[in-house]
Structure formats: C-alpha cells, structure tokens
C-alpha cells in the first residue's frame, strides 16, 4: 500500500518539493511552437506549480518568465511584446528573452539600475514544433528528450495537447494500466465486432492478462501477456520513462511510434502532450484516416476554444461539468461507459478519483504491478536527489531512451518475453529516426 507520506512525495511538484526538484532536472514540453507568434500576445503557462508567461520576440526567440515583473510584481501577461522584448505595462520596464532588463523609462538616466535587475527567466528550446522549458538550476541543461516519437520530423508526427483536471500521477497511471482497455474502452465490444486479423483482438478473447514487470535505468517496463492463436502468445509491451513519460501499447510494436508526457501544471492540473507517428497502423476501431468504425471508440477529442486564462488551454468539451456527456441509454446497450471519446473515458475515471487521490484507500491487485513498481521508482529517484544528491536518472543516456518502443507482439510459446521484445525491436527499427539521438 502507498502510505500518505509516500503519496505526498509522489504528488506534490511545486518549488521545494522532492518530486518538483526531480522534475526540474528535465526538459518539460510546455506548448506548441505555433502558440507563440513573433511580437504576438504573451501566453500564460502553469508549469510545476509556477505561473509563467511565454512570448516570442521580434527575432523569433522565446522567453519564459515568472509572470511577475521584478519591479512591482504586476503580471507581464499584460505587457507589450515589442521590438525585441516584453515591456511591463505598469511602468514600462522592458526585458529581453533571457530576462535582462533593457529599459527603465520611468527613471531619470542617472537613477536607472537595469544592469542589477533581471526577470526570473527559464531556458527555452524548440524542436519539431514543440516548446520545451528547463526549470532546473544547473549551469548546463541536459539534452532534450530523445524518445523516438519526439525525434520525428514535425511533418511525420501528430502532436496534441489536452488538459486533465487532476494530479499528474493518477492521470499517468492510466497509461500503464493495460487491463482497463478491455473494460473501460471495449467492455461491450466482442470478437465478432472487429477485423479477424487485427492484432488487438486477443484483448477481447482474454480480458485478464498476466504480467512481467521490471525496473530499468530509465524508469519501468511491463509486458502483459495472454494466449493468442494455438502455439503463440500475445504480448503488450509498454514503458514509463522518468520523470513523466509513457509509451503505451497502441497497435503493433513494429510501427507504434508514440510517447506521451503527463506534464504537471500544478498539483491538481495536468497537461498531456502526445506524440504519435502519422503512418502507424490504425488502432482497434479506427480507420487510417482517423474515423471511428466502432461506436464509442473515437480517439478524436472535441475541444473547447482556448482562452487566455491560466487553465484555459486545450480543454476537452466533455468534462466534469457535464459528466463527460455520458449517455446512460448507450451504456445499457452499446457502450461499457456511455462516454463517447476514449481519452475522456480515461478522464472520467482519473478525475473522479478527486484532485489528488488518497492512495491509502486503494486495494492494489496483481494487475497493478507496474503501477506499484513505477511509484517505487519515482520515490527512489526523488528521495535520492533530495536526500543524497544522487543524479536524476538517464538525463544524458540518450541511446537507452531513443531505443524504446511500446506495442503489441505475437511470439511463439516458450520464447522468453525479453527475447520476444528484442526480436520485435530488430524488425521494427527505423534507423533514420534514431540517428538524431546519436
């Protein structure tokens, strides 16, 4: 059982917390590059419990600051993004993208002290259409994330953001809980409803898999396994990579190039940043064009318009305020949940646990082995950093992270699961994608 003390360690991410300190050692995906225009409107961001403002200057450089002007703490969200910097609307103090003060126009020239004032700025970087922020205090930032899906050119990868109104860990744990798929998402789907050769069909013939789980240098890994056709085993491989990345099984491992970051905005709001290769095999119930062919298996989430509020970006239309548009008649007849979209089926479960779930109330089962292992791995890493000064795991080990893949595999009975994974990875390699990590 996870104790209340452990739960505090796992869930709190603000400044001064062990988990917050751990996460600040890594680059955090924060926004789409397209959300920032040169000399355009500043963007409010909430990351790891801090309220920030991001802007793109006249030359395309991105600045990410504490939103409070270092003069009198008025919000720079209301500032003027102009001529290579952001100017506070209160007294006109101006800062460049690195936080250097460029101008103090409300002071006589002989009284200004701009060389002594700097906005609290974080390092920013962009790659393949995604803005990353480094909130750590090390002189040299680590490499950007090198999970395979994050390395694909922007033309080859679909990147999407969606907000979840609960703690980051309970949101993430849905990705590493494979047995729920056979109930929450496909509980009313039968083997007769799907294509006879679809690799995911075995989740419908056996809804109670067994597991192999192990701790790794980068996080944790699991393999769920079930009987397939006579003489074969159906495996689902997945990974958790510190500090908040998942690679979940979503079709054949041969082309399932996906990664998802569960970025803590604060302790009770999370932004899921998803990377998915556009040419991967369609998942169960979807066409190659992204059209659902089975009811209530839609992977496309309807979104509300973005607003400039602190929590106004990338919000789903089906949410807590409308009970996720649940249709009880559909639940009785054609859907296990009656909730129309797959992502929001997950949201209904994880948000219904409360903003921060009380894990002392749980009764974990053998099907939760990866969840238990992942919690232990996170606590170990966070306490290692805070109590012993140990380095955060796999910051500079690009080759390990770039070589991971999740997905489904059918292998002969008797073959060790690790060998089945290695064989599938050899067949699935995309050298042109992995070269970027070398």
* Alpha helices, DSSP H, located in 184-327: 202-205
Strand (E) or helix (H) holding 246: strand 245-247
Pairing of strands 80-82, 85-87: antiparallel
pTM score = 0.95
State how far the Cα of 125 lies from the Cα of 113, in Å rounded to an integer: 29
Report the distance separating Cα 99 and Cα 120, nearest Å. Answer: 6
Domain boundaries, the chain: 32-134, 148-437
Where do the DSSP E strands lie in 68-150?
Answer: 80-82, 85-87, 94-95, 101-103, 121-127, 130-134
Q: Which residues make Cβ contacts (< 8 Å) with residue 32, sequence separation at least 6?
A: 129, 130, 131, 159, 161
How far is C-alpha 11 from the geometric centre of its chain's CA atoms? 15
- Contacts of residue 406, defined as CB under 8 A and 6 or more positions apart, other chains included, come to 237, 238, 239, 247, 248, 249, 250, 253, 256, 258
Burial label, 351 (beta-carbon count in 10 A; 0-12, 13-18, 19+): buried
CATH class of 32-134: mainly beta
Specify the 3-state DSSP secondary structure of 433: helix
How far, in Å, CA of 80 to CA of 158, rounded? 32
Tell me the pLDDT of the chain (438 aa) as tens digits: 899 999 999 999 999 999 999 999 999 999 999 999 999 999 999 999 999 999 999 999 999 999 999 999 999 999 999 999 999 999 999 999 999 999 999 999 999 999 999 999 999 999 999 999 999 999 999 999 999 999 988 888 999 999 999 999 999 999 999 999 999 999 999 999 998 899 999 999 999 999 999 999 999 999 999 999 999 999 999 999 999 999 999 999 999 999 999 999 999 999 999 999 998 998 888 888 888 888 899 999 999 999 999 999 999 999 999 999 999 999 999 999 999 999 999 999 999 999 999 999 999 999 999 999 999 999 999 999 999 999 898 887 666 777 899 999 999 999 999 999 999 999 886 655 544 444
- Please tell me the total number of residues recorded for the chain in this structure: 438
In order, the DSSP letters of 179-222 are: GGIIIIITTT--GGGS-TT-GGGHHHH----EEEEEE-SSEEEE
**Listed residue (46, 41, 94, 38) closest to 62, CA to CA:** 38
């Amino acid at each position: 059982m996870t104790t209340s003390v452990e739960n505090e360690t796992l869930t709190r991410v603000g400044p001064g917390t062990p988990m917050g300190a751990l996460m600040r050692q890594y680059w955090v995906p924060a926004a789409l590059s397209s959300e920032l225009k040169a000399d355009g409107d500043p963007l409010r961001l909430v990351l790891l419990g801090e309220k920030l403002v991001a802007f793109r200057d006249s030359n395309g450089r991105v600045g990410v600051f504490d939103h409070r002007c270092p003069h009198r703490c008025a919000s720079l969200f209301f500032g003027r993004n102009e001529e290579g910097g952001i100017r506070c609307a209160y007294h006109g103090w101006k800062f460049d993208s690195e936080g250097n003060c460029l101008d103090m126009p409300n002071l006589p020239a002989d009284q200004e002290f701009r060389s002594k004032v700097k906005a609290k700025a974080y390092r920013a970087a962009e790659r393949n259409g995604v803005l990353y922020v480094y909130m750590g205090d090390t002189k040299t930032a680590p490499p950007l994330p090198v999970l395979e899906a994050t390395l694909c050119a922007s033309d080859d990868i679909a990147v999407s953001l969606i907000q979840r109104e609960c703690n980051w860990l309970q949101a993430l744990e849905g990705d590493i809980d494979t047995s729920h798929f056979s109930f929450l998402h496909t509980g009313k789907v039968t083997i007769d409803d799907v294509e006879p050769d679809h690799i995911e069909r075995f989740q419908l013939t056996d809804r109670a898999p067994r597991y192999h789980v192990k701790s790794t240098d980068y996080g944790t890994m699991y393999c769920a396994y079930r009987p397939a056709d006579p003489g074969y085993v159906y495996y689902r491989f997945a990974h958790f990579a510190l500090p908040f990345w998942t690679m979940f099984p979503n079709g054949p491992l041969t082309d399932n190039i996906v990664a998802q970051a569960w970025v803590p905005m604060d302790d009770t709001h999370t932004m899921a940043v998803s990377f998915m290769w556009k040419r991967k095999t369609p998942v169960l119930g979807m066409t190659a064009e992204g059209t659902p062919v089975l009811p209530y298996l839609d992977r496309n989430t309807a979104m509300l318009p973005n607003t400039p509020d602190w929590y106004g970006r990338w919000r789903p239309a089906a949410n807590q305020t409308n009970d996720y548009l649940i249709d009880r008649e559909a639940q009785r007849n054609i859907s296990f949940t009656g909730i129309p979209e797959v992502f929001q089926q997950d949201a209904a479960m994880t948000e219904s646990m409360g903003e921060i779930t009380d894990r002392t109330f749980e009764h974990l089962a053998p099907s939760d082995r990866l969840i238990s292992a992942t919690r232990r791995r996170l606590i170990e890493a966070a306490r290692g950093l805070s109590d012993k000064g140990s380095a955060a795991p796999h910051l500079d080990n690009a080759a390990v992270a770039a070589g991971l893949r999740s997905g489904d595999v059918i292998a002969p009975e008797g073959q060790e699961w690790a060998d089945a994974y290695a064989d599938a990875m050899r067949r699935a390699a995309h050298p042109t994608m992995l070269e970027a990590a070398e």
